[in-house]
Structure 1
Amino acid sequence: MCLEAYLQGQDLWEIVTGAEKELADTPNNAELRRKWKIKCGKALFALRTSIREEFIEHVREVNSPKEVWDTLKRLFSTKNIVRVQFLENELAMLTQGSLSISEYF
């Protein structure tokens, strides 16, 4: 939610959702295409720098902000088994003082 708000505030959300498409490479729209590429780079930077290290591998080879967003959306959807396993592992590693979470409970 915070990342979405940030992208909207930076006028990058349309790039991420795919509503703002890449323009054809023609002499008439060279400047608009250059601006689109800059926005695309900014969106990719914002997305990649906000991802925790363990998820970077999922989007390392992806070159489109929309593909990065869709990948993250799929990873963090509530029905995602991989995400559930990741959260279970995180919970298992938690401690309360010197006690593991299972010992604490």
Structure 2
Amino acid sequence: MDLTNSIGGIEKLNNMNYDYWKSCMELYLQGQDLWEVVCGTDVAPPNNTSEGQDALRKWKIKAGKAMFMLKETIQKEMLDHIRVAKMPKEAWDAFATLFAKTNVARLQMLENEIGSITQDNMTISQYFMKVKGICNDIGQLDDESKISDARK
């Protein structure tokens, strides 16, 4: 693994590794006690009352840490998808939508990826496995979405 493409052992999100990134991030966020502010029971800030000042401060710290990790563990070209997100849950959901099986944008990304693959320094076996992996991803797109078989 190229260290410039990972943070803390988590491979940065790109067009090809959402499922892997998602599982690693979920475990990391749970281990850091940040999952609740991303997709758990604590996704909205507490009320800003005099009694809740400390709770709000703690929530903002957790949300900031979670948002930092979400932004640091993605490739720069992915940043545009979450640039306007104010809450960690918004960012997480934006990626879920972008990489959803029913999403036509996902098919477009896979088409672009398969069209730009070059063998470069890969062995024939590695090159074949990469192409096969993309084809498998295309094959796993939801059949109920409005993507024609010809396009797949």
TM-score range, shorter chain: 0.7 to 0.9
Match of 1:32 among 40, 50, 55: 55
How far apart, CA to CA, are the structure 2 residues paired with 1:87 and 1:4?
24
How far apart, CA to CA, are the structure 2 residues paired with 1:71 and 1:58?
7
TM-score by length of 1: 0.86
Alpha-carbon distance change, 48 to 97 in structure 1, aligned in 2, over 3 angstroms: closer
Report the 3-state secondary structure (helix = DSSP H, G, I; strand = E; otherwise coil) of the residue aligned with 1:28: coil
For 2:70, the equivalent position in structure 1 comes to 47
- Identity, in percent, stands at 47
Whether 1:69 aligns to 2:92 is: yes
Q: Unaligned regions of 5+ residues in structure 1, if any? A: 99-103
For 1:2, the equivalent position in structure 2 comes to 24
| Aligned-partner residue type, residue 35 of structure 2 | W
| Aligned-partner residue type, residue 76 of structure 1 | F
Q: Unaligned regions of 5+ residues in structure 2, if any? A: 1-22, 122-126, 129-152
TM-score by length of 2: 0.61
| Aligned-partner residue type, residue 50 of structure 2 | P
Match of 1:17 among 39, 42, 48: 39
> How many angstroms does 1:36 deviate by?
0.5
Report the 3-state secondary structure (helix = DSSP H, G, I; strand = E; otherwise coil) of the residue aligned with 1:11: coil
What are the equivalent positions in structure 2 for 1:86-105 lying under 5 Å apart? 86-97=109-120
> How many angstroms does 1:18 deviate by?
4.8
* Structure 1 residue ranges (4+ consecutive) displaced by more than 2 angstroms after TM superposition: none
How far apart, CA to CA, are the structure 2 residues paired with 1:65 and 1:97?
37
| Aligned-partner residue type, residue 47 of structure 2 | A
Please give the per-residue CA displacement for 1:28-51, whole angstroms capped at 9, x wherever unaligned. Answer: 121111010000000111111112
- Alpha carbon RMSD of aligned pairs, Å? 1.8
